[in-house]
Amino acid sequence: MRNSRWVRLLAYVTGSVNQELLLRNEYLAAEKSDLKAKLPARLCLGDPERATLAEIGKRLGRKALREVACVAKPDTILAWYRRLVAQKFDGSKHRQYPGRPPVSSDVETLVIRMARANSGWGYDRIVGALANPGHHVSDQTVGNIAPSPWYRSGS
């Protein structure tokens, strides 16, 4: 007997909450149709607005979006959501691009100066000389900068 009172009370409270939500939705639908009549044919939305609509639209679902959405088609809103998720997981902020970092222009200038001044030095000796002040490059890098140990162009 006691449980039935609680069930009735609970049914009354949830019914009044549902009724209030229905009234709010009805009001918002009427307000939306009034505003839609006064707005231009196409709205320009920024990324934050698209993200907000996409998140809410995904939770709402395609079927409900067909009834509610007027800024964009439901497929468009769900595409915004897919793009939002793809951006979240693309990893571009932490991506390291392939290859070695470029050699600084100071080291390039130093390699060219050493190759011009010491025509008898090979790539390995230039690498060793660059290691003394703390510049660590490979002999292949020296070869790419100064094509031969007898590099004299521009003298």
Which among 94, 109, 127 is the end of a domain? 94
**Same domain? 154 vs 102:** yes
Q: What is the pLDDT of residues 64-111, one digit of tens each?
A: 888 888 788 899 999 999 999 888 887 777 777 777 778 888 999 999
Question: What is the reported pTM?
Answer: 0.46
**Same domain? 60 vs 12:** no
Specify the 3-state DSSP secondary structure of 13: helix
**Same domain? 105 vs 154:** yes
123: phi then psi, degrees, rounded to nearest 5: -60, -40
Cβ atoms of 57 and 91 within 8 Å: the answer is no
Q: Which of 3-7, 56-60, 126-130 has the lowest mean pLDDT?
A: 3-7
Q: Is residue 115 very low, low, confident or very high in pLDDT (cuts 50, 70, 90)?
A: confident
| Overall domain count for the chain | 3
* Separation of alpha carbons 86 and 95, rounded Å: 15
Task: Find the domain containing 4 and state its range.
Answer: 1-39
